A and B are shown apart, each in its own frame.
Chain A
Amino acid sequence: MDPKAQELAERIISGDETVAARVISMIEDGEEEGFLVLSTLYPRTGGAFKIGITGSPGAGKSSIIDRLAYLYGKSGKKIGIIAIDPTSVKSKGAFFGDRLRFKSAEKVEGVFIRSMAHRGFSGGISKAAFGAECVLDALGKDIIIVESVGVGQTELSIYLISDIVVTVFTPDFGDEIQLMKAGLLEIGDVVVMNKMDMPNAEEKAKDLIAYIGDLKKDAPPFIKCSAKKGEGIELLLEVLEEKRREKLGMRREKVKALLLTFIKEELSRGIEKMVEEDPKFNEILHSVQSGKIDPYSASVHFVSELLKDGKMEDYKWRRKG
């Protein structure tokens, strides 16, 4: 075993925040050392309850997290918060403003808040978010709250890295047509309507409840909140704790889906460059570009040829960097 990784892992387990934060960065940047530490820590994780919060931008996810973390913290729990924000497609930079909203949470002892950019990973989270959860778990956090990017309908990955997912709506969620689109409502284990202090809130809450009732046989619990006034958060905490045991039973299934996601990603990363350098690829690309064959058929043809030749063995995939 790598002695340096071993030492870093031990420091995290003994509660060293600086090392924990550094190792999260290593995992984000794809440094091998980070993964060595992670694999040392991994058998020691699993104790923390992981809560995912998703919902549209401006729905009040951060404010709900702030109140929830405060309540959990007051009851003596150690809290980790991972706030994920989008990476700019153009510049690859990111701006994190969520810390501004964690004012009550900040007052509680033992809160660790980390902002992460999603860096192009699909599904509203960062690829490193799961690794960050493991590090915070090993650091001794009892509750880990992950805030997803909040782009609306493609937030499904948050489901894989959380034990339970809270979907946050507001009274201005739009109409039934928005809800009928696949996405957010499908993954919410608990549905919250925030901003109940808005004028038309009761009416819109009724609409949403009616819709959810029609949608699912076992409709998820529905909670009315006003994070601004601090209302409804106690109830949310109660419901989360009530469902905890049942939800932990789904970890094996979720980690399977997560592993598959990572394998697919790793495979495609390794294989993309090799494919581009393959003369057969250029041949078939030319056929597509000149309009002789469509890209769907071309891709199926290309891959079946590849597998038939036994050529896959020639492809060496390795992690970039």
Chain B
Amino acid sequence: MEEKRIKVLIAKPGLDGHDRGAKVIALALKEAGMEVVYSGLHKTIDQIVNMAIQEDVDVIGLSIMSGAHIPLTRKLMEKLKEKGIQDKKVFVGGVIPSKDIKLLKEMGVEGVFPGGTPIDDVIEAIKASVKK
């Protein structure tokens, strides 16, 4: 019937209200042939995990500008495990100081994209992670 397509959830957790970057990424991924679900602003981690389950996405991309990326990501990784869907690949983008990248990766995050990362790098990283 159809070949497998990569499906991605672009999620905005927490309080920050800036989603220009998230939308730019979402459109770029669509142009790269992926099916992209956008969560909308101010989602809780529970809502994001629920969406990831129902949409059966391969990849969750968190877009965080608020500085709360460490606790939000930690909570997401815990919830994924609790729900038994830790096979979803997680990426984090936004305002992320380079000193935090190591810690995020230790939590199990597949890749981190601080502001200014070329979009092609994001696309390649997502494709590579799903192939694994």
Interface residues of A (CB under 8 A from B): 17-18, 21-22, 24-25, 27-30, 88, 90-97, 99-100, 106, 112-115, 117, 119, 127-128, 319-321
Distance between A282 CB and nearest chain B CB, rounded to angstroms: 28
CB of B3 within 8 A of chain A?
Answer: yes
Bound CA–CA A61/B83 (angstroms): 32
Asked if B54 contacts A321 (CB within 8 A), the reply is no
Distance between B127 CB and nearest chain A CB, rounded to angstroms: 12
A interface majority secondary structure: mixed
CB of B36 within 8 A of chain A?
Answer: yes
B40 closest partner in A (C-beta): A100
Take A91-B31, A94-B30 as given contacts and tell me if A21 and B54 are in contact as well, using a CB distance cutoff of 8 Å: yes
Interface residues of B (CB under 8 A from A): 1-5, 7, 26-27, 29-40, 47, 51, 53-56, 83-85
- By CB atoms of chain B within 10 A, which of A88, A95, A97 has the most? A95
B4 closest partner in A (C-beta): A29
Chain B contacts for A96, CB-based, 8 A = 35-38, 55
Distance between A321 CB and nearest chain B CB, rounded to angstroms: 7
Chain A contacts for B54, CB-based, 8 A = 17, 21, 112-114
Asked if B56 contacts A93 (CB within 8 A), the reply is no
Bound CA–CA A303/B31 (angstroms): 39
- Extra 19 A-B pairs, beta carbons < 8 Å, given A18-B85, A28-B1, A99-B40: A17-B53, A28-B2, A29-B5, A30-B1, A91-B31, A91-B32, A92-B33, A93-B5, A93-B29, A93-B31, A94-B36, A95-B27, A95-B36, A96-B36, A106-B47, A114-B54, A114-B55, A115-B35, A128-B2
Distance between B40 CB and nearest chain A CB, rounded to angstroms: 4
Distance between B15 CB and nearest chain A CB, rounded to angstroms: 17
